[in-house]
Each structure stands twice: as C-alpha cells, then as structure tokens.
Structure 1
Amino acid sequence: MELNELHWMLDILQSIDVGVVVLDREYRIEMWNSFMESHSGLEPEEVQGQSVFRIFPEIEEAWFRNKAETVATLGTRTFTIWEQRPYLVRFKNYQPITGQEDFMYQNTTIIPIKDATGKVGHICVVIYDVTHVASNKKQLQNVTARLHQLTRTDALSGLLNRAHWDKSLEQEFARHQRYQRQLSLLLLDIDEFKVFNSQYEHAAGDLLLRSLADLLGQHVRNLDPSGRYAADQFAVLLPDTAVEGARQLAERLRDAVSQQVLLHDGQAVRYSVSIGVAELDANCLNPRQFCERAEQALARAKQAGRNCVVAYA
C-alpha cells in the first residue's frame, strides 16, 4: 500500500504544470519533475547529485542560501513573486499568447521537508509559471501610462498641453513664493504662421510646429516645463533662472530656428520665431500676471520686426 501511494504521488508530481525541485542541505539536486526536465532540457539523471548553483548559475547564491536557511531553521515556507524577482531560474517562454516575453516569469515557494525525527533534511522548491499574469499586468501598465501621457501632452508637438503646463506654472509660482526661487518664462511665437499655412497648407504648418517642439527638446533642460501655449505659440518655464540667462537661451533658440531648413514636398522651407522673456518678481501677484508680462514682451518683439527676442522691462 505504501509503495502504491508513493507511486501515485510521484505520478502526480510528474504531471502537474509546475516545477518541483528537491534539494538536500548541501543544495544538491535529488529530484525534479517533468516540468523542470521539459523547460531545462536536462533529464533527471543529468542533474542528480549536482549543485543547483552549477545547473542554474543565474541563481543569486547568497540570496537563495539565506532564504533556504531561514526556511530550514524556522520550519516554515517562504515565497517570492515575479514583481520582486522576475524569475528564479531563467527558462525561455514558449507560451504563444505571451510570446512577446523573452523569459518565463515565475513565482516561487520554498518549502521545508522534515524527516521522521522532525528535522529538516531537504528543501523543496516549487516554481510557478506566471508569465501570462506578468504580461497582462505589464500591458495594462503600459496602456495606463500611455493614457496618462495622452491626457498630459499635446498630440501634435508632444509637449505639455495647456492645461498641464498651467499646472506646472502654478507649482513653480508657489515654489517662488515659498522659497524665493528665481523663475523666468519664455513665450515663443512662429512668425507669420497664418500666412505660412495659407501658402503651404496645414501639413507644412504642422511640420513647423513639430520642428520647433523638437528644438525646444534639444535646448531646454528636462526639468523645464515646456508646453503648447496657443495654436502657434510655445511656453517654457525656467526654474532657478534669472532674466539674463533666459534671454541668452531665447537667443540660442531663435538662432537655431533661423538656421533650420525644412523640406515640404521637395521644397525648402524656412521660418523664424519671436520670443518674449519675463522674470518673476514680487510685483507679480499671480501666475496670470506673470504670463501677461511675457505676452507683452512678445508683442514688442513682433512690433520690432519679428525674429527677435525682447525681455519684459
């Protein structure tokens, strides 16, 4: 009867769709099931008596020993999940539904096996394939991140949309009031944009907007909130920057734009920008007044003949 029970228990271990590895206290493999054989390509006879660390060098030995010794000492099982550690042993992923994943994501349970005297003489490691769970969660996270990005950014330029740029303005304004940090603002306007759209059609206008957005990405810091302020206008906040530093950056941007040559339907296209610069000070009572200063400076740049930079005085 005992032999029969042992037979069907072993049969179950070979049939279940999880990996089962039994180790002695020296971390030598004493048994593993068909799941392990199938995914590793190694038959039981090849691994019998071998160190698990030699068969699977990707296992972080110090970490695993600490886990296993705790299990043996306390006599209680422990768990690892894929979000903490993607896998214990690196197996290729062969599931067609999750074929985009390079490896099998795994949850792992480490179980103490006691002998007749109650002493822990072996450790059982159970490996669960949770690639479908991990893949679904990653896809959901990617979709959520993409949706979040879409709600924050302008679809054409890829910069912040006006609503989220305004939020950045409010945050930087509050920091200025609390810590007296310097803050400057650039307001860029594409010269004769409406005339350009009429002459070349809207596709060319979109090309100009994307080109200007790309230039902003190349010249401003990642911490400088840049956004689409209006149809043909972009705004850049410059924390910890005084008006002179902001004006110098504006000149570099204006010059970079003037040197650009874009191709539209095989035709070379040039354009220019006018830029208004403003610095926040104690006389600005709210973010709207700060923007109005930059708008006034921009209007003066337009009146001065366009393709120039004017700072609010």
Structure 2
Amino acid sequence: MTDILDNLSEIHDLHRSLTIIQNLNVGVIVLDKNFKVKIWNSFMETKSGIEGYRINDHSIFEFFPNLADSWLKDKIVEAFSMDTLVFSSWEQHKEVFNFANRRPFTGTSSEMMMNFTFIPVLSLTGKCEEVTIIIYDVTDEASSKLSLQAANKKLHELSITDRLTTLYNRGYWEECLKQQYNINRRTLMPITLMMFDIDHFKNVNDTYGHPAGDAVLREVSAILKKQIRSTDIAGRYGGEEFAILLVDANRESAFMVAERIRKAVEAHTVYYEDMVIKFTISLGLCTLSETIPSAQEWLVSTDNCLYFSKEHGRNRTTQYGLNDTEETMNIKPEYKHGIKK
C-alpha cells in the first residue's frame, strides 16, 4: 500500500511539473543526444504551430531543417560536451526559429527575438543524457534597445554632418584629419589633402540671392560625392570651402581626381527657379610627406595651394611640391595667406 501511495505521489509530482512546464511563458524543449524531442511545451506549440504529439520522439531537424548547420546545433553540442549551462542573448545570433512577432505594434521587428539557455540534464550516473533549451521572447526589450541605438546613431550623424551639404562638418572633419595624419605616420600609406572653394561665390549670393547660393553648395556637394570613393573623407570646411582627404592617393592619382572634379563643376549648370547659374572652383592639393611636421602644417600647405590657384587665374588646381607647370605650381613654405580672392 505504501509503495502504491509513493508511486501516486511521484506521478502527482511529475504531472505537476509537466503542467508547470506546459504553462510557462517561455519555450521549453528537451532533446536527447540524437536531437530527438522529448518535451515540447505549449509555448513552442503556439509559436511554431507544431503540436507536441507530432514532434515528440522526432529529430528537431526533421521539422526545422534549416537548423541542421546552424548556430543552435553548435550550442546544443556544446552543452552536451561541456556539461555546463550555456547562455546566449539575441545579440549573438539572428532569428533562429523565425517565429513571428505576435506584438508587432510594440516593437520594430516582425520576427521574435530570443534569448537562449541550454541546461545539461544529468542522469543518476552523472552523465549528460539530455539538454533542456529554454527560449525567452525578448522582442520588446530588444526592439527598444535597437530603437535607442538607431536614435543614438542618428544623433551622432547629425552632430558630425553639415545639414546643407550633408558632408561632414568642420569639427568632425578636423578630427579625421588628425587621425589620418597619425595613421600615415605609422603606416606610410599615401594620402593627399584636397581643398577647394567656389570662385566668386559672394557674387553668386549677391546676384541670385542666398537661397540660390545654397542650391549651388548642395549641387557642388553632389558632384563631389559622385567623383570620390567611399573611403575618402569629405567635409564642408567653411562657407564655400570644401576639404577632402583622399585616402591611399599619391600625387598623380590625387591630381587626376582634382581635375575630374574641377571639370565636372565647370561643365555643370545650376537651374534655380528661373535663373541659370554657372561657376567654377579653385583647388589646392598636398600629398603628405615626412617633411610636413603636423596635421596643422599639412592643412596650411594645402590652403596655401588653394589661395595660389585663386591668385593665378582661378578655375585651376595647384599641387604642393611639384615643379612649375601650366597646372601645377611649386608652393614655397614661406607662401602665406592674404591673397585677394
């Protein structure tokens, strides 16, 4: 009689445990070493649309073949081999089961984001015979974090971007200048600084108005973006002045880029309302060398080349450190600012 009561008590305890497992608001899966499902609770039934009686004693990969070579299988094997609890957050993996997010209005994700805990189940002999996988729906928390990250990224972009041209603003661009100078000192990778401004831009504003001048700045920015690479670093340095770091560009290749930009601007026409606006730019180039002692001197040398171009006819490119030719002039170190625009 006592044995019967003990058995009934054990059955009751087992039934209670299974009832709790079935009604937990988390997914519970128990797998054996052959990846056969031993427990598939109601959470998993609801999310997957697969009833427990259908999947029990079948390999989980029969119903989810995309998992066979996935991150999940590696984690299951790890739990079996390590005999220790393994945790993984949603940030460490993509959607595993691709369950739909049942609360799409509370987050930005259409799919459920999950945290996982893998718990080795030891037999009476101390061997790991099964692994319990607990799946937590963290879609709301993950979506909130992703939204916050996106907002912070947007704020950062706004803080470093010139709103009119959508190029980098001067403050951030100058940080890039210092970084690239230091990188060159370590790696000796060629890099050239280009600066240019729009010729007679004051006349554009005075003749056509400041809104038209803004349109000119935007279109110059668009031309610039089309002519440079994604690795180059372009910024609006002043009112009508632009600065570009041409990464991995020696004197020859940088000059070709500068001339391509100059000619593209010269050939371009801005149509603003009923006005037709033509304009040109003057450019200065300085390829970084060991003789330039600082980022500031690099900037000054390039700026001197720009002003030399403006003093000598505009709509031209001046390159630091080359012999005098029709389009490239040797700028001496003592050459300073003060040239009339």
TM-score tier, shorter chain, comes to 0.7 to 0.9
Partner of 1:28: 36
Alpha-carbon distance between aligned partners in 2 of 1:85 and 1:67, rounded to the nearest angstrom: 11
Aligned-residue CA RMSD (Å): 2.7
CA distance in 2, matches of 1:97, 1:81: 22
Give ranges in structure 2 of 5+ residues lacking alignment: 1-8, 321-329, 331-341
Task: Report if the CA contact (8 A) 2:286-2:302 is conserved.
Answer: yes
Aligned length: 313
Matched, 1:246 2:275: no
Q: Measure how far apart 1:253 and its partner are.
A: 0.4
Cα separation, 1, equivalents of 2:72 and 2:173: 48
After the TM superposition, which residues 91-240 of structure 1 pair with which residues of structure 2 at under 5 Å, given as runs?
Answer: 91-176=99-184, 182-240=190-248
Structure 2 match to 1:43: 51
Could you tell me how far 1:210 is from its partner in structure 2? 2.0
| Alpha-carbon separation, structure 1, partners of 2:52 and 2:87 | 25
Deviation digits for residues 246-272 of structure 1, max 9, x if unmatched? 332211101111222333225443332
CA deviations over 1:140-188 (Å, ceiling 9, x no partner) = 2222222222332222222222222222323333455566554432221
Residues 269-298 of structure 1 show CA distances to partners (whole Å, capped at 9, x for unaligned) of 333212123344555444334333333332
Equivalent residue, structure 2, for 1:86: 94
User: What secondary structure, in the 3-state scheme, does the structure 1 residue paired with 2:91 have?
Assistant: coil
Distance 2:148 2:20 in 1: 35
Conserved? CA contact 2:169–2:237, under 8 Å = yes
Give how far 1:302 is off: 2.5
The 8 Å contact of residues 242 and 279 in structure 1, kept in 2 or not, is answered as yes
Cα distance between partner residues in 2 of 1:237 and 1:299: 18
- Measured at CA, do residues 7 and 225 of structure 1 come closer, stay the same or move farther in structure 2, by a change above 3 Å? same
Say if 1:3 and 1:229 are closer, same or farther in 2 by CA, change over 3 A.
same
Give per-residue Cα distances to partners, 1:195-254, cap 9 Å, x unaligned: 212333333222222222222222223333221111100012234444443332211101
Is the 2:208–2:275 contact (alpha carbons within 8 Å) kept by the matching residues of 1?
no
Q: Which structure 1 segments of 5+ residues have no match?
A: none
What is the DSSP-based 3-state SS (H/G/I as helix, E as strand, rest coil) of the residue aligned with 2:104? coil
Q: Name the structure 1 match of 2:327.
A: none
Counterpart secondary structure, 1:58: helix
TM-score by length of 1: 0.87
Distance in 2 (alpha carbons) for counterparts of 1:77 and 1:181: 48
- Name whichever of 32-41 and 107-116 sits farther off: 107-116
Distance change in 2, residues 1:47/1:284 (3 Å): closer
* RCO comparison, higher one (Cα < 8 Å, 6+): 1
Supply the distance in 2 between the matched residues of 1:58 and 1:122 (Cα, whole angstroms): 22
Question: Residues 87 and 107 of structure 1 are in contact (CA less than 8 Å); yes or no, is this contact kept in structure 2?
Answer: no
Q: d(CA) in 2 for partners of 1:301 and 1:269?
A: 22
Q: Deviations over 1:56-93 (max 9, x none)?
A: 12314475455334433554332222121134322111
Q: What one-letter code is carried by the residue in structure 2 that aligns with 1:89?
A: F
Instruction: State the distance in 2 between where 1:7 and 1:212 align.
Output: 74
Could you say what secondary structure the match of 1:230 adopts?
A: coil
Paired AA for residue 123 in structure 1: V
Q: Which portions of structure 1, spanning 4 or more consecutive aligned residues, are displaced by more than 6 angstroms?
A: none
Contact 1:88–1:108 (CA<8 Å) still a contact in 2? no
* CA deviation map 1:121-145 (0-9, x unaligned): 3322211111122212222222222
Pick from 283, 295, 301: which aligns with 1:275?
283
Match of 2:304 in 1: 296
Shift of 1:12: 1.6
1:46 alignment partner AA: R
Map of 2:75 onto structure 1: 67
Q: 2:66 aligns with which of 58, 64, 83?
A: 58
